[in-house]
Amino acid sequence: MPTTTSSSSSSAASSSSGNRQADVFSRLASSDPEVKLKALREVKNQIIGNRTKKLSFLKLGAVPAIASALADADDSDECNNILVQSAAALGSFACGFEAGVQAVLDAGVFPHLLRLLTNPDEKVVDAGARSLRMIFQSNLAPKYDFLQEKNMEFLFSLLNSENENVSGLGASIIAHACGTSVEQRLLCDAGVLEKLVILLDGSLSQREACLESLATVLKNNPEAVSHFVGLEAGRYLSSVTEFTKDRYPRTRLLSCLCLVVIYNTSPSYFLNMGTKSSLITTLLELLNEPGQSGDDAALGFSCLIADKEDLQKLAYEADAVKNIVDILKTDSELHPKRLQGLFLSLAELCSKLEDCRCSFLSLQVLDLLINALRHKNADVRTAACICFRNAARSVKNLSAGRFSQEHVMLPLV
């Protein structure tokens, strides 16, 4: 039967792939440097952007084997290629894959990757810095204690580096490890803003790491915002604003999120209606971006318009309600983070303006809301509940009985 043949072929292919991975894994422990180097390259090339293969190699125990190769290699020129490929493979495991980050940290590679930053070979330094940046993009990354003087000195040595990956690593550490007002104040008092803004004139990776770090340091920190805006008579605020028009979607997003933080912290710096309209328009466009950029844009947009009737009116005039509903009606499965942001955005739009509520409900969205109320992700369900509550404030639609039907009320209960 065709089904049997297809099933057999699939099983054979899977078995063959598993055998190849096992063969590569066995060669990672080879005493021959050339054999080991080739195996490291093969692992790295197979797992880049492939979660399935990452998981397969994780189950084989590849991460501890690669960690061992990294730890055993010294800083001599003969070992440089092994250091580079080991670090690159570990960074690939950690990139966007929490199980990979955990495996890398469990293997104890952190101090070995830090060691690479002082290697005399620039390629080794680059590989170590990139791998560490992948780790620091995760919530599982080690806590960085800014209160310790030696840690602050090390951080500034990274920011002062002429190597773009190393300085970018410093910015990434700030973005993902600075979580309290005390840490914000320590960093600002130490002069971190003056160091970060230099990266705005750097490479793409430096610029994006800088924008993310600035948003972290400035969030709910009026003194820091005032200091940042005053640097070189507002030049850097103008630079961030200009980056909202950049050709790279990620740069546009991060600059928008930075401006959202500044606006929410110190609204007085955004008196220009054109800047507000431009920010809304750019974030609405970014909602259609694939991957993390679109996910982050949705939450960023909801944060921008939260409790601000003037911005909600601008968003309504920009057709935000229809744009968001159109995205929700697409057949593609949306990431829970994006769904949460989209429903929170709709909730904010419907919180004060009757025109928004009527527009929202005229688009036949009750089924979308009902499905979201049953979503397996709690954050999505919560966002849908808030959206439902705010939309239900519409007297016109309440009196029409649109919310009292059994199939609408049951999911809420």
Domain map (residue ranges) of the chain: 17-142, 145-271, 272-413
The CA distance from 304 to 215, in Å, is 13
Q: The pTM is what?
A: 0.86
Name the token pair of 292. 């993390």
Q: What is the full per-residue pLDDT of the chain (413 aa) written as tens digits?
A: 444 455 444 444 445 555 677 778 788 888 898 999 999 999 999 999 899 999 999 999 999 999 999 999 887 777 899 999 999 999 999 998 999 999 999 999 999 999 999 999 999 999 999 999 999 989 899 888 898 999 999 999 999 999 999 999 999 999 999 989 999 999 999 999 999 999 999 999 999 999 999 999 999 999 999 999 999 999 999 999 999 999 999 999 999 999 999 999 999 988 678 889 999 999 999 999 999 999 999 999 999 999 999 999 999 999 999 999 999 998 678 999 999 999 999 999 999 999 999 899 888 888 888 889 999 999 999 999 999 999 888 766 554 455 555 445 555 54
- What's the chain's length in residues? 413
What does the pLDDT read at residue 1?
40
CATH number of this structure's domain 272-413, picked from the four choices 3.30.360.10, 1.20.1440.230, 3.40.1010.20, 1.25.10.10: 1.25.10.10
Find, among 261, 299, 67, the residue nearest to 178 by Cα: 261
Domain 17-142 belongs in CATH node 3.40.47.10: no
3-class secondary structure per residue, the chain = CHHHHHHHHHHHHHHHHHHHHHHHHHHCCCCCHHHHHHHHHHHHHHHCCCHHHHHHHHHHCHHHHHHHHHHHCCCCHHHHHHHHHHHHHHHHHHCCCHHHHHHHHHCCCHHHHHHHCCCCCHHHHHHHHHHHHHHHCCCCCCCCCCCCHHHHHHHHHHHCCCCHHHHHHHHHHHHHHCCCHHHHHHHHHCCHHHHHHHHCCCCHHHHHHHHHHHHHHHCCCHHHHHHHHHHHHHHHHHHHHHHHHCCCHHHHHHHHHHHHHHHHHCHHHCCCHHHHHHHHHHHHHHCCCCHHHHHHHHHHHHHHHCCCHHHHHHHHHCCHHHHHHHHHCCCCCCCHHHHHHHHHHHHHHHHHCHHHHHHHHCCCCHHHHHHHHCCCCHHHHHHHHHHHHHHCCCHHHHHCCCCCCHHHHHHHC
Q: What is the tens place of the pLDDT at every residue in 287-311? A: 999 999 999 999 999 999 999 999 9
Residue that is written with structure tokens 């070979």 in the block: 121
CB contact at 8 A, 300 and 260: yes
What does the pLDDT read at residue 269?
87
Residue that is written with structure tokens 């410093």 in the block: 170
What does the pLDDT read at residue 143?
86
Architecture of the structural domain at 145-271: Alpha Horseshoe (1.25)
CB contact at 8 A, 293 and 286: yes
17-142 and 145-271 agree in CATH topology:
yes
Find, among 293, 206, 310, 308, the residue nearest to 256 by Cα: 293
The CA distance from 302 to 256, in Å, is 12
